[in-house]
């Protein structure tokens, strides 16, 4: 999940071992300023883990007018990843919006959560700082602080926050494997 343009479709295309089934259509609202096509229902891919294990990758549309899909997709979700576009001035507001949305929609259900911070290379504040890695570390701390402040009740465990380029397979794989590892720990050890 995440706002329009955060890289959800790119992340699934980058990681999927099958051709992604997508529902992109021409953007017809303010989204056209960001990109010509937008997801209107979902993107579906599969990551093969070996030994017959696989992770289904489902990308939700970012526009609130398609929010009816969020409930449908969350119904069977085992974990949630929020992608946040770091180049947007509203990036922390975007994160808070999706955390609050998930808190309401998941209710008492608890799932692993991870946050991927995308478009770091496009953020004016990072390019002005002269030190991408040092500045990003501080920025990632802001995302972590936002999560601590919100204390989302649906989160099982500690939500990792990672820099992710949605076009780089190792970045996206690390993000997905972090929630897969949380699920594995829960399966093996329960709520201890």
Q: Which residues of the chain have pLDDT under 50?
A: 126-135
> Rounded to the nearest 5°, which phi and psi values hold at 9?
-65, -45
1 in any annotated domain: no
Query: What tokens were used for 20?
Result: 């992604």
Q: What is the pLDDT of residue 165?
A: 96
Domain that holds residue 135: 8-189
Q: Tell me the pLDDT tens digit for each residue of 159-168.
A: 999 999 999 9
pLDDT at position 29 is: 57
**Does residue 3 fall inside a structural domain?**
no
| Number of domains composing the chain | 1
| CATH number assigned to the domain comprising residue 79 | 3.40.50.300
- In angstroms, the Cα distances linking 182 to 78, 86, 186 are 10, 25, 6
pLDDT at residue 127, rounded to an integer = 37
Q: Which residue is associated with the tokens 């017959």? A: 52
pTM score over 0.75: yes
Per-residue pLDDT of 45-54, as tens digits, reads 888 888 888 8
């Amino acid at each position: 999940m995440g706002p329009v343009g955060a890289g959800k479709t790119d992340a699934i295309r980058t990681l999927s071992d099958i051709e992604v089934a997508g529902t992109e259509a021409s953007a017809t609202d303010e989204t056209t300023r960001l990109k010509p096509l937008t997801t209107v229902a979902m993107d579906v891919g599969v990551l093969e883990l070996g030994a017959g294990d696989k992770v289904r990758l489902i990308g939700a549309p970012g526009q609130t007018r398609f929010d009816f899909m969020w409930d449908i997709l969350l119904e069977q979700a085992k974990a949630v990843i929020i992608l946040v576009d770091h180049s947007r001035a509203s990036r922390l507001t975007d994160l808070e919006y999706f955390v609050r949305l998930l808190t309401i929609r998941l209710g008492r259900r608890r799932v692993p959560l991870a946050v991927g911070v995308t478009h770091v290379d496009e953020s004016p504040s990072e390019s002005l700082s002269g030190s991408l890695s040092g500045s990003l570390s501080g920025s990632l701390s802001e995302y972590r602080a936002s999560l601590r402040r919100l204390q989302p009740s649906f989160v099982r465990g500690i939500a990792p926050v990672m820099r992710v380029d949605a076009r780089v397979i190792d970045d996206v794989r690390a993000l997905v494997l972090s929630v897969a590892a949380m699920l594995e720990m829960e399966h093996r050890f329960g709520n201890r």
